[in-house]
Every structure is written in C-alpha cells, then in structure tokens.
Amino acid sequence: MALVCTVNDDGTSGLAPISSVWALGCLLVLGLGATGQSARDLAARPELVAGFPDARDRSRVERPAPLTGRDPVPSGKPPGTRFETDKFAAAGVGMRAPQEVAPPRVAGCPLRSEARAVRVEADGPGEHVVVQTEVVRVHAGARMAVPGTGHVDPGLWTPLIYGFRHCFGLGRQRGRSCPSQTPER
C-alpha cells in the first residue's frame, strides 16, 4: 500500500491511499480510481510522491481513506466519503519537502519515491487509471539502508501489503532471488 501525494488544480497538495502499486527497477506503476482527484491531478501535472508506510502503521493509510479532494463527492465513492480541502491536516499526516518534484513527501513513511508520470491511461471500462512513472529520487530511513550502497535492506523493511481488502505485513524470509545484491539474513 502507499500514500500518493499530488498537486491539485489550486496548487494545494493532494493525498490518497492506494492499494495497487508495484515497482520494477525505476518504474513504479500505480492503479487509481478514475473518478478520484489524484487521477485528475496526474493527468494535468504528472508528478507524485509515493510514501510506503510500515506494516505497523496501518492507520496512516486508513485516516485519509474516507476523504476526497473532489467537490462534489463522486457518486462511485463509498458511503461516508466526504470532501476535504486539506487531507493532510484532516488525516493528521505531516509533510516533508521534496527534492525533485513538486508534491510533498509524507512524513513518517520509511520509504518514499519521488516520481514523474510517463503514461496515464484509463483501463478498458474506464473505472481505473493506470499510471506508469519513472522514479527520480528514493528516500529511505537510515536504519533501512545497506551501508555504502543505494540498496534498502529487505529484512529491515516491513511494508504494508493489501490483499483482497485486508492489510498484512511480511512473514519470515524464505530466501532471496538470484539477482539480489543484498546479503541473505
């Protein structure tokens, strides 16, 4: 799971929890609801920051979930969703300055990727938007970094994982893949 920060039409910062995100090298792919403000923001201003919370901090993702930056609230949103101009404040989530893009970084997320969208397109039925991005800067907490490298120690990062509308963390390590450049634990 991730918290995605964008820039709204009026220059304020947008914040949205997302459950569909994966990475391949410097490519980060996101899935967003087509009616959300984040999809609209990225079509107009193709920069974002994805903050990846620790599995023990599920509330950081849940607090902004019932909020939307769209007014009026789109009809496809879950019951109880309400419009909020400052989702960061309403969700109690802090901001940090970015280095390469305009949207802010989410404070408290141990891993954050600043990225630029290279493709934003609707899926077949138009219910979702698939966003392909190029990561231009990664910020990792000092305790997660492998000293002297640009690598994150996967044994020290416990990402929040979304599976069939439920949140999970990681279990014990089962091994490492052949191309891994970090030591096995």
Greater pLDDT, 179 or 2 = 2
Region of poorest pLDDT, from 43-52, 136-145, 171-180: 171-180
Residues 51-61 pLDDT 10s:
999 888 888 88
> Is residue 116 scored above 70 in pLDDT?
yes
Q: Where are the beta strands (DSSP E) in 123-178?
A: 128-140, 161-163, 166-168
Which domains are present in the chain? Answer: 2-168 (2.30.110.10)
Q: What is the pTM (predicted TM-score) of this model?
A: 0.89
What is residue 155's predicted lDDT score, i.e. its pLDDT?
A: 84
- Which amino acid, 46? P
- The per-residue pLDDT for 179 is 62
Q: Is residue 82 scored above 90 in pLDDT? A: yes
pLDDT given at position 132:
98
